[in-house]
Chain A
Amino acid sequence: MEKENILLRVRNITKSFPGVIALDNMSLQVREATVHVLMGENGAGKSTLMKILIGLYEKDSGEIFFDGKPLDTSSISKVLSQGISMIYQELNPIDSMTVAENIYCGKEPCYVKNLWVNQKKMIEDTARLFEQLDVKNIDPSRKVKELSIAQKQLVEIVKAIANESKMIIMDEPTSAITEDECQHLFRTIRRLKKEGITFIYISHKMEEIFQIADEVTVMRDGKHVGTDQIDKLSRDIIVKMMVGREITDVYPKEKVAMGPEVMAVRHLSAKDAFMDVNFSVKKGEILGFAGLMGSGRTEVAEALFGCRRIDQGDIFIHDQKVDIISSNNAIRQNIAFLTEDRRKTGCFMGLTVYDNIMTLRWKKHRGKIGIKHAECRKSCEQQIQKFSIKTTGMNQKMQDLSGGNQQKVLLARWLLCDPEILILDEPTRGIDVGSKYEIYQDMMSLVKNGKSIIMISSELPEILGMSDRILVMHEGKVSGILNRDEADQETIMKLASGITA
């Protein structure tokens, strides 16, 4: 093993952002022509490390050696020219350009340097690369917007190869593709590995790690926890390394007595989003929504909350047919909606915790001469206590809170309205393990108090751990509804990827 060259050597990297230390003396060694998997909870610092490697962030201190030389990370184009490419989780295609233009973006072949781009050569070179890499069914002159997510991802890989990369970093590449496409991706990775290309592969999915990894490094709280060869590791060891303690009870799930049906949805359809969706939620129930990205889960939630037009179908609340055509209607029907993108559609980052919690309540606290702030402060203080939000006070800016605490603020905001039905879209995305647990506890105490929860999540363990029933979507349709005791990862994945067994 010692003969193998170490291609990348990261030594004692530290990086801090205002209020957080993202990387704390992190070191990493990656051998040439291997697949090195990087694991860790959300917020462990994987992405930050990768962004430093690729030149998006500047490191505070530490050294990086690549291919025997110090790596110049002063700009992305410098890093690219030294042979490192990254494929981002949220793929970055330029939709209005062709496949070939995307692949050669930033390094266009020219007739006359810079003055005359050679489109023909671009397309020919792309076709040749496709042939080498056994990519079929993609026409280099097609617009990227016409491709599927898996195809776009292939385009990004080909782009990295076109860049003559020695090392390719992939950030959760399989989060949005089907099992078949995933296997094709793995074949591509293995083929490239044989040709001497090194991969850093960030993933959360245990199954695929054992299929693809040569070595695994686990990070926690910005620190290096351990690196080992895959055959010396087991699932349990990795989880233990990631979490830092034995986890016996990750999900505080308890049996809760269920009441009558609170909400029922019949034949709900919306153009280009979902079709003929049927389900119901009982009082005290947690209904999980599983499915791949783009399967229509969020769209259904938006429709229930009046943010998306419904073309067909009915929504019943307490057996009464209701028309929900705006979020105002939904709130009046006692529905709450915690959106999946905290930054974009949840928080007012520049405003205070106070403003963020009270957003929906100003009307209720109106006096003769304006808002009664004393009253508001009291109820805000109560919410901060109740949800144990870690903040310096209600006047702290939202942007200075951690992700978990921001999420708690949003939950506190909604619960001031005393909703009956809560739609939680990816409630624990991007927050640390501790806060996750607290959010699960909050969910449990809500259902105990007779609320109903619809929880959309891409994390299968969370779905399995928290839901009473699980609705699985595939390409806009409900592919199955499973009871808690009949659900497992495999069954859900099969339903989610449209495999009818």
Chain B
Amino acid sequence: MGTNNSKKNFSLKVKKWVTDERTGALLLFIIVCVILMFTTDTFLTLRNLTNLTRYASFYVMVGVGVLVIFMSGEMDLSLGATMGMSGIMSAMLARDGQPLIVVLAVGIFFGILIGAFNGYLVGYWTFPAFIATLGCKQMIRGLITVITEGYPINDLSESFTYIGTGSFLGIPIPIYIAIFLAVLTWYILNKTVFGRHVVATGANAQAAIVSGINTKRIKLFSYMYGGALAGIAGMVLTARVTSGQVNCGDGFELDAIAGAIIGGASMEGGSGTVIGTICGIMVIYTVKNGMSLLSINAYWQQVAQGAIILLAIFLDIIRKKQRS
């Protein structure tokens, strides 16, 4: 009887750990790392870890933006396209030798602009977020092709490419940027009035409205913030590959969304953490990295990526059941 009970308790505890939004992603991340430590020789090398983290840092930049939009109770499928637009715009200016500050300002501006467009449709016109942002994504991808006529933009200024290729104290610049944006997002969500209102809006929109919160504006600003972060990610990625690519950021939004959900964010709004989102994204990229190291064929890698997204939503459903 006693052992049976403690066994039951233990399995309950494990279940709670895996599904708890604070510990689940971290636990998964550790498990994946441990597996890779034993199955490969190259996983734990400094070179691989730097590569992995740099790669993941772009997704973290978008992911924390996704988190803010999720917290407000909405979603955004156009963030990858937003990255592409900001990347192309900044690449054009960087090719023309504009000063770095102008390049960055314009890139962020386009991110905010697209975010505002989505936020306005969703917040004020009550468009369903899924459709609105999907439509927006198509439009932007089309516009990018119109602007570039399908050709990549090369010969970018060195001051610009440095933000993607350079490093400081041996650590790549994109990682600093990702950390900065993560801390900023954490601060905004937890310490600012805006952030608290985002959480309130996502957790119970009706309650937020009767508390005098302008939930439409909160949603608009959440999208603008997410767009700005996607804009930054697009620029840094463009700088990293030293070329303005037409398909820059393609599919980023899905991985960022999956990461946020694995990390405990709920698609229904109001819950999620920055640290969880980072862990969730690290899980995805460690798995991808591991598959490359284990030389698993690229097609199977794609299958696995799809499975990860489904896993993320599965976790979300289990959590929802536990809550109710």
- B207 on the interface (CB 8 Å rule)? yes
Bound Cα distance A106, B199 (Å): 12
In the complex the two chains form, is B213's CB within 8 Å of A97's CB? no
- B208 on the interface (CB 8 Å rule)? yes
- A108 on the interface (CB 8 Å rule)? yes
**Nearest A-chain residue to B209, judged by Cβ:** A76
| B196 contact from A76, A88, A92, A105, Cβ within 8 A | A105
- A80 on the interface (CB 8 Å rule)? yes
- B270 on the interface (CB 8 Å rule)? yes
- B191 on the interface (CB 8 Å rule)? yes
**Nearest A-chain residue to B199, judged by Cβ:** A97
In the complex the two chains form, is B196's CB within 8 Å of A117's CB? yes
- A86 on the interface (CB 8 Å rule)? yes
In the complex the two chains form, is B203's CB within 8 Å of A96's CB? yes
- B11 on the interface (CB 8 Å rule)? no
| A116 contact from B192, B207, B212, Cβ within 8 A | B192
Could you tell me the distance in whole angstroms from the C-beta of A163 to the nearest C-beta in chain B? Answer: 9
> What size tier do the contact residues of chain A reach?
20 to 34
- B146 on the interface (CB 8 Å rule)? no
- B204 on the interface (CB 8 Å rule)? yes
Contacts of A54 in B (CB 8 A): 210
- B167 on the interface (CB 8 Å rule)? no
- B289 on the interface (CB 8 Å rule)? no
In the complex the two chains form, is B200's CB within 8 Å of A97's CB? yes
Could you tell me the distance in whole angstroms from the C-beta of A308 to the nearest C-beta in chain B? Answer: 12
Within 8 A of B (CB), among A31-75: 54, 56, 75
Bound Cα distance A117, B187 (Å): 10
Bound Cα distance A116, B208 (Å): 20
In the complex the two chains form, is B204's CB within 8 Å of A95's CB? yes
**Nearest B-chain residue to A55, judged by Cβ:** B212
Within 8 A of A (CB), among B198-218: 199-200, 203-204, 206-214
| A92 contact from B194, B204, B270, Cβ within 8 A | B204
Interface string of A160-185 (1 = CB under 8 A from B): 00000000000000000000000000
Contacts of A95 in B (CB 8 A): 203-204
In the complex the two chains form, is A94's CB within 8 Å of B213's CB? no
- B86 on the interface (CB 8 Å rule)? no
Within 8 A of B (CB), among A90-141: 92-97, 101, 105-108, 110, 114-117
In the complex the two chains form, is B209's CB within 8 Å of A105's CB? no
- A77 on the interface (CB 8 Å rule)? yes
Contacts of B194 in A (CB 8 A): 114
Bound Cα distance A491, B213 (Å): 44
| A117 contact from B192, B209, B271, Cβ within 8 A | B192
| Among B200, B209, B211: residue with most chain A CB under 10 A | B211
Bound Cα distance A81, B212 (Å): 9
Bound Cα distance A79, B191 (Å): 26
In the complex the two chains form, is B213's CB within 8 Å of A77's CB? yes
User: Known contacts A77-B212, A101-B196, A116-B192: does B271 contact A96 (CB below 8 Å)?
Assistant: yes
Q: Which 4 A-B pairs have the closest CB atoms?
A: A77-B212, A92-B207, A106-B211, A105-B211
Given contacts A101-B196, A105-B211, A115-B193, 7 further A-B contacts (CB under 8 A): A56-B209, A94-B208, A96-B199, A105-B197, A110-B193, A114-B193, A116-B192
Chain B residues in contact with chain A, CB under 8 A? 191-197, 199-200, 203-204, 206-214, 270-271
29 A-B contacts, Cβ less than 8 Å apart? A75-B212, A76-B211, A77-B212, A77-B213, A77-B214, A79-B212, A80-B211, A86-B210, A92-B204, A93-B204, A93-B207, A94-B203, A94-B207, A95-B203, A96-B199, A96-B270, A101-B196, A105-B213, A106-B197, A106-B200, A106-B212, A107-B212, A110-B193, A114-B192, A114-B194, A115-B191, A115-B192, A115-B193, A117-B195
